[in-house]
A and B are shown apart, each in its own frame.
Chain A
Amino acid sequence: MATITFKINRFNPDDERRGHFMQKYQVEAKKGDTILDCLNRIKWKQDGSLTFRRSCRSGICGSCAMTIDGVNNLACEVQVMALKRDTITVEPLRGYTVIKDLVVSLDPLVKGMLKVKPYMITKTPPPTDQERLQSPEEREKLDGLYECILCGSCTSSCPSFWADKEYIGPHAFLKAYRFVADTRDEAPREHLEPLDDKHGLWRCHTIFNCVEACPKDLNPTKAISELKKALVNDKF
């Protein structure tokens, strides 16, 4: 057991004059406790007004993404003791508009996602007696692409997104490449074309913050370089 001080960046839309401020809470934490466990303890026992999103507490819903000690991660996947700190700073994901405390508006995330048509596009009718099949090798190409849980950590950590709120974002690039690489998708161009834009692929400056931030250890920058190759090969 250890007493950990949580410094939490708070914001109440009903008290705009006060703006953002840091509030400290003391929490008793033991080995195995996650940041989310401690946030819950604060909310349930100390301060019911603390607001944050959470749902599955097992790293699959992506609701509890936040900036923990300056890095984006899922609160339910970071163990307090593993950070080896007495004071842990918790802030809302940066780059998005804060709605309240640790809750941000994920509208830019959804907007970028919709631009790349994040669904399989087919032109031919499916085989009558079976599903659209893939060989195990073809399926393997999607590893590292389909696991994204849309938590928004990558796009929030991206300096290109900080500078351009219309930027499609690494999460959407990863999703676009997931369908471009899918052998069953029959119109890769429809995913690629929206990326060929000043708010699209070319605004990536290979900073690799998205790779560092991804709680699922995916590699959006790799997807981006594959998409760049696909676009260039398509044009010339």
Chain B
Amino acid sequence: MRVIKHYRIHLGTLAWILHRLSGLALIFYMLIHLWVIHHLIVGEKSFDGVMEFLSTPLFKFLEIGLIGVIMYHLFNGLRVILIDMGVMVEKQKMLFGFTVVVWLAAWLWVSTVMVMRFGGLPFI
């Protein structure tokens, strides 16, 4: 039947694909998170063990990425709500621009706090 499997990607498509991917990543994270906290009922020892494993620099680094994914999903979700409310529908590209700026600024700010307070990066 059909063979055409491609269509040019516009800004709106990109926003949507990233939203879907970040959503899937968050579901995946939730599963891991549940696995981690299930150690609480297994016992103190196993929880300490898993927490020690998660305190390695690699996971600190991944946490910064996680915050970025959460924040993209958050701010793009707000953008979609605004569009559904009829705000800036005709200027959706500009709205996506704002979203990206706010997202990156918030991500930068939170990751700076994480690095300063908790030593998130392995080389600091």
Contacts and interface: CB of A to CB of B under 8 A. Distances in A.
Interface of A: 9, 19-20, 67, 69-71, 91-92, 94-95, 97-98, 157, 159, 205-209, 211-212, 219, 221-222, 225-226, 228-229
A222 B12 contact: no
A38 to B, nearest CB: 20
A207 B13 CA distance: 5
Interface in B1-58: 1-4, 6-8, 10-13, 15-16
A199 to B, nearest CB: 18
Contact of A94 (B7, B10, B83, B90): B7
A222 B82 CA distance: 12
A222 B86 contact: yes
Contact of A98 (B1, B6, B8, B92): B1
A71 B8 contact: yes
Contacts of A206: 12, 16, 80, 83-84, 92
A89 B3 CA distance: 14
Contact of B2 (A69, A94, A205): A94
B10 A97 contact: no
Given A67-B4, A206-B80, A211-B12, 8 more contacts: A9-B3, A70-B8, A94-B2, A94-B4, A205-B80, A206-B84, A207-B16, A208-B13
Contact of A212 (B10, B84, B86): B10
A157 B89 contact: no
A9 B4 contact: yes
Given A206-B84, A207-B12, A208-B10, A221 B1 contact: no
Contacts of B84: 206, 225, 228-229
Contacts of B1: 97-98
A209 B12 CA distance: 7
A25 to B, nearest CB: 19
Interface residues of B, number: 21
B85 interface: yes
A2 B2 CA distance: 32
Contacts of A225: 83-86, 89
B7 A157 contact: yes
Contacts of A211: 12, 92
A228 B89 CA distance: 13
B7 A70 contact: yes
A150 to B, nearest CB: 20
Contacts of A226: 86
Interface string B67-103: 0000000000000100111100110100000000000
A90 to B, nearest CB: 11
Contacts of A212: 10, 12
12 contacts: A19-B3, A67-B7, A94-B7, A206-B84, A206-B92, A207-B13, A208-B12, A209-B7, A221-B89, A225-B83, A226-B86, A228-B84
Contacts of B80: 205-206
Which 8 residue pairs across A and B have the least CB separation, nearest first? A208-B12, A70-B8, A20-B3, A94-B4, A222-B89, A207-B16, A225-B86, A212-B10
